[in-house]
């Protein structure tokens, strides 16, 4: 991406049956709006990332600042891996089994208003994983096939792991409701 503009915009594309990755090697801000990706997306680069009305498979970020609104991920595997980045999501919808967000490496993730439609197979992974990182989340789970997540949050700090299990938080629609969960590491 060459030119003087401070930001790059990609909008209104449907890559449903194609494997497309996005690399922002310029260091400029990147905005993606109204785009459907057909599989996993690894968004790499140095610039800030803005996602609006994006549907994709797995999402991988490393060390970036990411703001998302209306994010829809339906992969049967870990949906978002935030490795050392800053992730903020307003309106997060998921389907199927697989961890919703894995935050690690000092990363910070925040979800305001999420819906987990727990379809698919038995859930063998936690809904959220925090590994020496921070997570703040408000989300509701619905499991009409009666296969909800059994482990809601697995949080590891300095070698000690704690689990928030099904039943320890309010329930809704055969699933779990997290009115607010905050797990965090100390500021550096």
Q: What is the pLDDT of residues 143-183, one digit of tens each?
A: 999 999 999 999 999 899 999 999 999 999 999 999 999 99
Tokens of 154: 């697995």
Region 134-145: mean pLDDT is 96
Q: What pLDDT score was predicted for residue 175? A: 95
pTM: 0.92
pLDDT digits (tens, 9 = 90+) for 18-59: 777 777 777 789 999 999 988 777 777 778 999 999 998 888
Q: Report domain extents, the chain.
A: 49-183
Nearest to 152 by CA among 132, 172, 160: 172
Nearest Cα to Cα of residue 15 among 49, 54, 42, 48: 54
For the chain, what percent of residues have pLDDT higher than 90? 69
- Average confidence (pLDDT) over 70-97: 95
What is the model's pLDDT at position 51? 95
Band (pLDDT 50/70/90 cuts) for residue 68 is very high
Give 116's pLDDT tier (boundaries 50, 70, 90): very high
Is residue 48 within 8 A of residue 69, CB to CB? The reply is no
Cα dihedral 142, 144, 147, 151 in deg (nearest 10) = 10
Is the pLDDT at 6 greater than 90? The verdict is no
| Dist. CA 52–CA 36, nearest whole Å | 11
Residue 19 pLDDT: 74
Instruction: Report the C-alpha gap between 17 and 9 in whole angstroms.
Output: 22
**Cα(154)–Cα(162) distance, integer angstroms:** 6
> Given a cut of 80, is residue 75 above it in pLDDT?
yes
pLDDT at 5: 79
Q: What is the mean pLDDT of residues 8-13?
A: 90
Q: Is the pLDDT of residue 1 over 60?
A: no
């Amino acid at each position: 991406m060459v030119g003087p503009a401070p930001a790059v915009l990609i909008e209104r594309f449907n890559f449903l049956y194609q494997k497309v990755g996005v690399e922002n090697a310029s260091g400029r801000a990147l905005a993606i709006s109204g785009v459907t990706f057909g599989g996993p997306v690894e968004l790499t680069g140095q610039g800030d990332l803005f996602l609006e009305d994006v549907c994709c498979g797995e999402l991988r970020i490393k060390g970036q600042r990411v703001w998302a609104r209306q994010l829809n991920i339906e992969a049967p595997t870990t949906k978002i891996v935030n490795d050392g980045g800053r992730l903020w999501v307003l309106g997060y919808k998921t389907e199927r089994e697989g961890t919703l967000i894995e935050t690690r490496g000092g990363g910070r993730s925040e979800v305001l208003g999420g819906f987990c439609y727990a379809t698919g197979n038995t859930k063998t992974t936690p809904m959220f994983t925090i590994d020496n990182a921070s997570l703040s989340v408000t989300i509701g789970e619905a499991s009409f096939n009666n296969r909800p997540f059994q482990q809601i949050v697995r949080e590891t700090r300095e070698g000690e792991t704690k689990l928030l299990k099904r039943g320890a938080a309010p329930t809704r629609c055969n699933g779990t409701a997290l009115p607010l969960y905050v797990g965090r590491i100390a500021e550096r």
